[in-house]
Amino acid sequence: MLTVGLTGGIGAGKSEVSRLLDSYGAVIVDADRIAREVVEPGTEGHAAVVAEFGEGVLRADGALDRPALGRIVFNDPDRLAALNTIVHPLVGARSAELQRAAGEHAVVVHDVPLLTENGLASLYDVVVVVDASPETRLHRLVHLRGMSEEEARSRMAAQATRADRLAIADHVIDNDGPLEKLEPQVRELWERLRRRA
C-alpha cells in the first residue's frame, strides 16, 4: 500500500485532481467529506459540537448550521481550536479505518486541505501539492465559486503560504492553466504512484 497526502490552497484545483485520481483507481480518503460525516445528527461529534457551541449552531432540522458555526470560529483561534479538538480525532480515526479497508497494493490518496497547516506531511509516503498562482486562485474563487473578493482573500490568507506548501511537496501538479493541461500531469503522476505501490 502507498499512502499519498494530497493538498493545495483553496481554489488551486485539488478536488479536480482527487476526482481524476479516483477515476484511475486510487482509493480516496476525503478529509472534508469525513469531517461532515462525523458531525451529522446522532453522532458523537454532533453531540460534542452542540455541547461546546450551544444550540445556536443548529438548523431547524437538527443538522449543524455551518455558516453560523463558521462565523463563530473563523476569526477566533481559540474557538477554532476547540472545534478542531472535537473534529480532528474523529476524522483521523475514520480515515485510518478507510485506509485499513483498502487492498494491500492500493494507492490510498488522503485529500487533506490543511495538511501543511497541521504538520501532517510525515504521515504519508508521498505528498502531492496542487499549485496555482494566487491570482488564478482568487479568480476561481470569485468567478467560479461566487465568493466576494474580500472573502476569497481572507480564506486564502488563513491558509499556509504557497512557499510552505511547496516546501513539503514530493510532487507538484501545476494547475494554473486549463483543465486539458491538468489531466496529462495527473495521469503521469498516477502511473508513478502505481509503480511505486
Residue 119 DSSP symbol: T
Q: Which residues of 125-152 are buried (b: 16+ CB within 10 A; e: fewer)?
A: ebbbbbbbeeebbbebbbeeeebeeeeb
Check residue 110 and give its pLDDT.
96
Q: Which three cell numbers stand for residue 185?
A: 500531469
Check residue 40 and give its pLDDT.
97
Q: Summarize pLDDT for 39-86 with one digit per residue, the tens.
A: 999 999 999 999 999 999 999 999 999 989 988 998 798 999 999 999
Helix (H, G, I), strand (E, B) or coil at 98: helix
Span 12-21, average pLDDT: 96
Check residue 74 and give its pLDDT.
80
Return the sign of the alpha-carbon dihedral for residues 110, 89, 32, 11. Answer: negative
d(CA 69, CA 166): 31
- Of the given ranges (17-21, 23-27, 75-79), which has the lowest mean pLDDT? 75-79
Judge whether 31 and 110 are in contact, CB under 8 Å: yes
Span 169-196, average pLDDT: 95
Check residue 97 and give its pLDDT.
94
Q: Summarize pLDDT for 139-168 with one digit per residue, the tens.
A: 999 999 999 999 899 889 989 999 999 999
* Strand 107-111 with 171-174, pairing: unpaired
- Predicted TM-score of the model (pTM): 0.86
Alpha helical stretches, state H, the chain: 14-24, 31-37, 44-53, 66-73, 77-101, 134-143, 149-157, 162-167, 179-196
Residue 179: is its pLDDT beyond 90? no
Half-sphere exposure of 112 (CA within 13 A, CB side): 26
Check residue 71 and give its pLDDT.
86
Residue that wins the pLDDT comparison between 177 and 24: 24
What are the chain's domains?
A: 1-26+106-197 (3.40.50.300), 34-104 (3.40.50.300)
Check residue 158 and give its pLDDT.
86
Check residue 75 and give its pLDDT.
79
Helix (H, G, I), strand (E, B) or coil at 131: strand
Check residue 168 and give its pLDDT.
98
Judge whether 13 and 6 are in contact, CB under 8 Å: no
Residue 93: is its pLDDT beyond 90? yes
Check residue 153 and give its pLDDT.
93
Check residue 137 and give its pLDDT.
96
